[in-house]
Structure 1
Amino acid sequence: MAFIKKSTNSYQSKKNMIAGRNPVIEALNRQENIDKILMFKNASGDAIGEIRRLAKALNIPVQYVPNEKLNSLTNILHQGVVAFKSAVIYQDLQQVIDWIVGEGEAPLLLMLDGVTDVRNIGAIARSAVCTGAQAIIIPDKGVGALNEEAVKSSAGALEQIHICRVSSLAKAVDDLHLNGIRIFASEMNARKKIFELPLQEPCCIVMGDEGKGIQSFISKSADEHFSIPMKNNFDSFNVSVACGISLYEAMKQRL
């Protein structure tokens, strides 16, 4: 990974933060691993236009916020723009699928829809690596930042698995289907149990937010819905635990 040098412009290194228009443009031009950019909603000028253009080309989400939000993040001159470095390298979904198939393996992928807690994401990545999943698919918005805390929670697993960040989960589902990868969506009340799925086949397991679950458009596109049986009438498993159970069943079937 390349790092930009400090310049005379506003630059904030604390917690992988880059503040200021020129430093952010420099980081984008060097193709730093940027997780997201926060921008003052009324910001304008040539540099702002350049940041938006580069962010779009690199598939980096831009979130528009009040100036007070930016002021709360740093006490230096941010010029209406703050970027956060990612602790992981994002990869192209199709390229990862091609690599997996080229290795002679059946894809076992995990898609996260609305999982925002970085500790959960870290624990999920750890289970994914331990059970042989090759990649985790996340949206560019509505997911916890893959920062140093997430990497620490994963015990380094986030650095050992392919992370595919996509601009549209719906398109990702279509791409998976075009590659012959079946979509198995977790649903609390589904009749089919996780152990009844053909998980030895090329597949992607989809896990959603514990409260809202999986978005309806993904649920409708799924090939199968499954639930994880529980002995007692309790609420549900934590999402990271549910991922671990599901991926372990997939590994068991593939052994």
Structure 2
Amino acid sequence: MSKQESLIIGRQPLIEALRSGRAIDKILVQKNANGEVMSAIRALSNEYKVPMQMVPAEKLNYMTKANHQGVIALAALVEYKDLETVLDEVQAKGEVPLFVMLDGITDVRNIGAIARSAHCCGSQALIIPDKGVGALNEEAMKSSAGALEHMNIIRVNSLLKAVDTLHEHGILVFTSDMKADKKVFDLPLTEACCIIMGNEEKGVQPYLAKAADEYFTIPMVTKFDSFNVSVATGIILYEAMKNRM
């Protein structure tokens, strides 16, 4: 899909795309855009849980020379799914959930690499927030070697609420902490679980980390900084796969 083909330009084309159930990453709306049609777009974006961002007209003009009418949407390259639906599907298959949640990871190449490792190690789903994470664009798809097309991608408006939902379904939540006593190979990874992976600089947000059931570290021989987030995810998921096999 080319850059131009991935754009949905204009108010009515966007309304039709939303009503048809087409997957959309984000809607960009010109500041001060108003009217009945814009109200309908806002209502549909809430109904279908598509993030909306207010931007200056210059940004929209840069993206296309067409008459955008103050709105451009970025069509998604993957289909986003509902958390409850995926949980029911996984458990109906008799599989033990192994999910990955991404918090604040903006490098799309890391996201692609994480998806690739997740798919190879048997993880059924990737949970991402609707804001503050890199777009699942062409570069992410390429980095994942196509794995993003084969996984359940769950987009939520609150990672904390998603953790609550996981707990309601009996799923343990793990995240790393440099001060943790437990090592990754001490985790009960054969149990239904979700691993939260955070931004390399800031880590998992404190309020989200606080909701986790277990904290762990990945031991290293040297005292170097840390593993790259996609490498760290691969290590954790491989450990889970090894235990489950």
TM-score (norm 2): 0.96
Separation in 2, partners of 1:56, 1:189: 40
1:29 and 1:197 map into 2 onto residues whose CA distance is: 44
- Residue 226 of structure 1 is matched in structure 2 by 216
Return structure 1 stretches of 4+ with deviation > 6 angstroms.
Answer: none
Aligned equivalent of 2:11? 21
- Change beyond 3 A, Cα 1:252–1:34: same
Measure, in 1, the Cα distance between the counterparts of 2:123 and 2:5: 30
Tell me the CA shift for residue 189 of structure 1.
3.1
Compute the displacement of 1:13 (Å): 6.8
Q: Does 1:106 align with 2:117?
A: no
Gaps of 5+ in 1: 1-11
* 1-structure distance, mates of 2:108, 2:38: 29
Does 1:186 pair with 2:176?
yes
Helix, strand or coil at the partner of 2:170: coil
Q: Which residue of 2 is the match for residue 247 of structure 1?
A: 237
What amino acid maps onto 1:152 in structure 2?
A: K
Residue 73 (str. 1) matches residue 73 (str. 2): no
Paired position in structure 2 for 1:50: 40
Q: Deviations over 1:127-175 (max 9, x none)?
A: 0010000101000111111122211111110011111101111110000
* 1:1-255 alignment runs, 5 A limit: 14-255=4-245
Percent identity at matched positions? Answer: 60
Query: What is the CA–CA distance in structure 1 between the aligned matches of 2:236 and 2:178, rounded to whole Å?
Result: 13
Task: Please report how far the alpha carbon of residue 55 of structure 1 lies from its aligned counterpart in structure 2 after TM superposition.
Answer: 0.7
How far the C-alpha of 1:108 sits from its partner, in A, is: 0.5
TM-score, normalised to structure 1, is 0.93
d(CA) in 2 for partners of 1:219, 1:15: 39
Q: Which deviates more from structure 2 when the two are superposed, residues 130-139 or residues 24-33?
A: 24-33
* Cα distance in 2 between the residues matched to 1:189 and 1:88: 37
Shift of 1:70: 1.5
User: Number of matched residues?
Assistant: 244
Give the counterpart letter for 1:220 in structure 2. Answer: K
Counterpart residue type for residue 101 of structure 1:
Q
> Which residue of structure 2 lines up, in the alignment, with residue 6 of structure 1?
none
Counterpart AA for 1:180: G
SS at match of 2:54: strand
Q: Any idea what SS the aligned residue of 1:221 has? A: coil
